[in-house]
Amino acid sequence: MEINVMTSTVPIPVTIDRSSNPTVLTVKEMLYKKKYFPITRQTLYFQGYRLDDDELPLSELGDDLDGSFTLVMPKAAVVDAVSAEPVWLTVGTSRSFRLHMIPGNRQMRMTLNQTRIGIVYQIESESSDSRKYHLAKYTVSAIDTIQIRDGEHGREVVFMKEGKEVDIPGTMKVYDEHSEHLMADLPKPCRQLR
């Protein structure tokens, strides 16, 4: 059986085998496998009623379950960031972000209230009119540690949850500060064409 669990942004399709007598915990486990949402941080609602009993069989909720579940998650996560050398961590989107310096050889605890983060790998040029930032961008959820360490191919980012590594692929991006300044001077309709 496939059900859609509603979130504040998009529905998450979850496939559950009805013959295995699934419970509320089964739904939470599937959400963890799909989106890495920690089970202990998930609050599920069924038709507006909070489901506090993880052992409650779904069969007791009726036959038509699709679209009746709503997932609520806390907005912010507290993570530990560790790096062997100083590195910049961005939190937020390219238009609205905060910048954190992670000092070398020290653990730093921070609150992530966004799911988008970036690790600045290289800064070209010292002049503000020609600076370029090379960064790796990630969409994260349900992590408690970010480790930045030297790997065999340079700096690598490792995400962890409860002591286990979580594989989160990233994308490389070059942010050109000069072109962003030029874009800010354009009328808004022209900026959207970019």
Categorize the per-residue pLDDT at 120 as very low, low, confident or very high, splitting at 50, 70 and 90: confident
Instruction: State pLDDT tens for residues 75-99.
Output: 556 677 777 778 888 887 777 777 8
Categorize the per-residue pLDDT at 103 as very low, low, confident or very high, splitting at 50, 70 and 90: confident
pTM: 0.49
As a whole number of angstroms, the distance between CA 92 and CA 113 comes to 8
pLDDT at residue number 188: 42
Half-sphere exposure of 167 (CA within 13 A, CB side): 2
The answer, yes or no, to whether residue 186 has pLDDT greater than 60, is: no
Instruction: State pLDDT tens for residues 151-166.
Output: 777 778 888 888 888 8
Look up residue 84 and give its DSSP letter: S
Q: Does an H or E element contain 176, and which?
A: strand 171-176
The pair of structure tokens assigned to 151 is 């790997």
How many residues in the chain?
194
**3-class DSSP assignment, residue 49:** strand
pLDDT at residue number 74: 65
| Contact criterion met (CB below 8 Å) for 144 and 80 | yes
